[in-house]
Amino acid sequence: MVELVGTRPVETAAAPRFPDSIESRQSWIAAGVALALLSVSYGSPLLVVVGLKPIEQDLGTSRQLVALAGALTWVGTGLGGILMGWVAERLGIRRTVSFGAVMIAIGLTVSATGSIWAILVSHALLVGMFGNGALFPPLLVYISRWFDRRRGTALALISAGQYIAGMVWPTLFEHAMAEHGWRTTMLGFAAVLVVAVPLAALFLQRPPEAPATLGFTDAAGRPRVLGLRPNAVLAILAAAGFCCCIPMAIPQGHLVAFCSDVGIPAAQGAAMLSVLQASAFCSRVFWGWLADRIGGLQTVLAGSACQAVAIAAFMTTQDEAGLFAISAAYGLGFSGIIPAYVIAIRELFPSREASWRVPTVLFVSMGGMAVGSWWAGALFDHFGFYAPAFATGVLFNLFNLGLVGFLVLRQRAAGGLRAVSL
């Protein structure tokens, strides 16, 4: 198979689209293991989401500061992904993810000491940078190298680990915190990570070698992607990811607290968060299937449009049944966006650059998750309700649609570029 930068491979009646596919039974084993790893590791950021009010009340601090811990986890994960992607290229995926699991466990143990500063620092550095940063971005790059025909489906599958975590852990965390407190719950989950993640990592094998890659140049021989300089396209993708992740973070980071503030019990709020994540999980395979057919950029555009409608709907009701319905619709809309960014990068840039281009876009996108989570808490502390936060989310989503729409238009005009070996 030959991978083209800046366009989709062309199908002909005389030859199959992927005559020399790298996909195999081992590809799906690797994807299944990665799914299991992320289903466990992604429980760690949810501890401060479910424990937002208990931690706030126990430590006598502001909601904004507790929400900042979740925000710093996203920033740390994105920044750590750039570093740990480099480490995974040299030491291997097994050692990288095992190291990450231990770091998350240490971070949760430090957080359980009960100081707000310990929570902030440990979530930024241990749970985020050296923890989840060693799992999520490197695993996305790793799995993308096992697939060519169904890369979108595979990436959607393993990214669904975030939503499996969202379905399983919030309700368990809420019950555990009610019975034993948030500190003991953090320590218990740390023990789960130390045992489960390194054990699963043993099943990860070395991916197949990347095929030869072609690129595009202009008349002067300069490399071009969609008729633009490669790093300019990467910057636009990163900015779009930042703008779409701000609204993405608001319901995920504040839904339980929002429900409690409007008179809905915390247990129902945790169940609503689980419904949101379950809906996202169920729809993610669809988005992956769609990306395999229309490409990553157009899938990002479609998913972002759906997310914009759903985030605006949160401002329309405080009814429990209505919020359950909106949460389900929101999960359906946003679930395919992040994997579609990874697919777009793999379609537009050479495979050898994936280990730093993918984590770079994820880092900026997770910065958006961080800003969205913290900003929603700051707006709540100022106004006393969440409507301004949801309105801000809608605006950023519109900016995102403009940036992605620009790249989609450039993609449609990129067929005349000349392909040369890179």
Residue 102: pLDDT over 60: yes
Of 341, 267, 286, 16, nearest to 163 by C-alpha is 286
Which one is predicted more confidently, 89 or 403?
Answer: 403
C-alpha distances in angstroms, 67 versus 61, 147, 248, 338? 11, 37, 15, 22
Confidence bin at 126 (pLDDT 50/70/90): very high
**Looking at the predicted structure, is the pLDDT value of residue 352 above 80?**
no
Share of the chain above pLDDT 70, in %: 90
Averaged pLDDT score across all residues of the chain = 81
Positive/negative CA dihedral, 43, 45, 49, 51: positive
The pLDDT value recorded for residue 333 is: 78
Question: Which is more confidently placed, 388 or 320?
Answer: 388
Could you tell me which residues are beta bridge partners of residue 225? Answer: 228
The rounded percent of the chain whose pLDDT value lies above 90 is 18
> What are the structural domains of the chain?
25-205+213-421 (1.20.1250.20)
Q: Which two tokens stand for residue 126?
A: 């241990």
Higher pLDDT, 403 or 286: 403
Q: How far is it, in rounded angstroms, from Cα 102 to Cα 316?
A: 43
pLDDT at position 266 over 80: no
pLDDT band with cut points at 50, 70 and 90 for residue 416 = very low
User: 0.85 cut: is pTM over it?
Assistant: no
Please report the sign of the dihedral spanned by the C-alpha atoms of residue 353, residue 358, residue 282, residue 123. Answer: positive
Q: Quote the pLDDT of residue 277.
A: 74
Helix, strand, or coil here: 335? coil
Residue 218 backbone dihedrals phi, psi, to 5 degrees: -95, -170
132: its two tokens: 């989840």
Tell me the C-alpha distance between 33 and 99, whole Å. Answer: 16
Q: Are 82 and 360 in contact (CB under 8 A)?
A: yes
> How far is Cα 78 from Cα 84, in angstroms, rounded to an integer?
10
Q: Give 13's pLDDT tier (boundaries 50, 70, 90).
A: very low
Using one digit for the tens of pLDDT, what is the confidence trace for 166-216? 778 888 998 999 889 989 999 999 998 888 777 777 888 888 775 544 445
Judge contact between 143 and 30, C-beta under 8 A: yes
Question: Would you place residue 107 in the very low, low, confident or very high pLDDT band (cuts 50, 70, 90)?
Answer: very high
Q: What confidence category does residue 406 fall into, taking pLDDT thresholds of 50, 70 and 90?
A: very high
343, 299 Cβ separation under 8 angstroms:
yes
The predicted structure's pLDDT at residue 250:
82
Report the range out of 93-102, 216-225, 270-279 with the highest average pLDDT.
93-102
